[in-house]
Chains A and B, each alone.
Chain A
Amino acid sequence: DSGVTQTPKHLITATGQRVTLRCSPRSGDLSVYWYQQSLDQGLQFLIQYYNGEERAKGNILERFSAQQFPDLHSELNLSSLELGDSALYFCASSQRGGGETQYFGPGTRLLVL
C-alpha cells in the first residue's frame, strides 16, 4: 500500500459525459501527478501540481482539467468524454515534486461506452 488513495476504482459512463476522479496523496507529500495508461501506450504524464499550484503540463487534452486543493487532495475532471478516453488513470505523489520517487495510487479504470 503506497499511501496514495484514488476514488472511484471503476467508472463506466457514456460519451459526452463528464466525470471527476479524486486523489489523496501520501501524508506529507506536496506534489501530485496524474497519468493516463491506454491499451497500446505507456504511462502518459498529464499534469503535476505542487502545493496547490500547477507545476508541469504534459499531454493533457483541453477537455481535461485538474486542480489541487488546500488539503492537498487533487481532482481530475474529464469532460465531453469520447470512447478513446477509456483508460486507467493513475495519481502519484511525491514529497517535493523535483524528480524524486513517485508513489502511485491504485488507479481509476474509466470505461466510456
Chain B
Amino acid sequence: ILNVEQSPQSLHVQEGDSTNFTCSFPSSNFYALHWYRWETAKSPEALFVMTLNGDEKKKGRISATLNTKEGYSYLYIKGSQPEDSATYLCAFVGGSNYKLTFGKGTLLTVNP
C-alpha cells in the first residue's frame, strides 16, 4: 500500500502570512507528483504537475518544489489571502500504472 502523507492536517494563518506545507511520498518508482486545491463545496482543481527532481513551479503567489530522491514536495503560499482558504491535496503517481494516490490533504484557513 502506497503511503502519501501530508502535514500539517490543518493550519490557521492570518491574512498576509506566508505559509508552507509538506507532502511525503515513496521515493521509488516515481513518475509524477500532483498538487490540487479543493475549496469547500467545489471539486479539486489542478495546481501543478511535477515530474523532475528539483522541479520548481509557480502560479501567482503559490509555488511548489519537488525532491524525488528523498520523497517530498513543499507547497508555499506567499502573502495568504482569505480566498486561499481550501484543502490542498497532493497525489503521487507511480510509474507502473499511472494512477493517482492522494494524501488526506492540508486544510488551510486564512483569517482576515
CA distance A104 to B91 in the complex (A): 14
**Contact residues of B between 86 and 109, Cβ < 8 Å to A:** 89, 91, 93, 97-105
Tell me the dominant secondary structure on chain A's binding face. Answer: loop
Partner of B43, one of A48, A58, A104: A104
Residues of B within 8 A of A (CB): 31-32, 34, 36, 42-46, 49, 89, 91, 93, 97-105
Number of residues of chain A lying within 8 A (CB) of chain B: 23
Residues of A within 8 A of B (CB): 2, 33, 41-45, 48, 55-56, 58, 90, 97-107
The residues of B that contact A103 with a CB separation of less than 8 Å are 46
B89 touches A43 (CB 8 A): yes
CA distance A6 to B101 in the complex (A): 22
A99 touches B32 (CB 8 A): yes
Contacts between the two chains (Cβ within 8 Å), count: 51
CA distance A100 to B93 in the complex (A): 9
Given A99-B32, A100-B49, A101-B49, A43 and B44 contact (CB-CB distance below 8 Å): yes
Closest 7 CB pairs between A and B?
A99-B98, A104-B43, A99-B93, A42-B104, A43-B102, A101-B46, A56-B97
Task: Identify 5 new A-B residue pairs, CB closer than 8 A, beyond the known A97-B98, A99-B98.
Answer: A33-B99, A41-B104, A99-B32, A99-B100, A100-B49
Nearest-Cβ distance from residue B6 to partner chain A, whole angstroms = 9
The residues of A that contact B104 with a CB separation of less than 8 Å are 41-42
The residues of A that contact B101 with a CB separation of less than 8 Å are 45
B99 touches A101 (CB 8 A): no
Nearest-Cβ distance from residue A10 to partner chain B, whole angstroms = 12
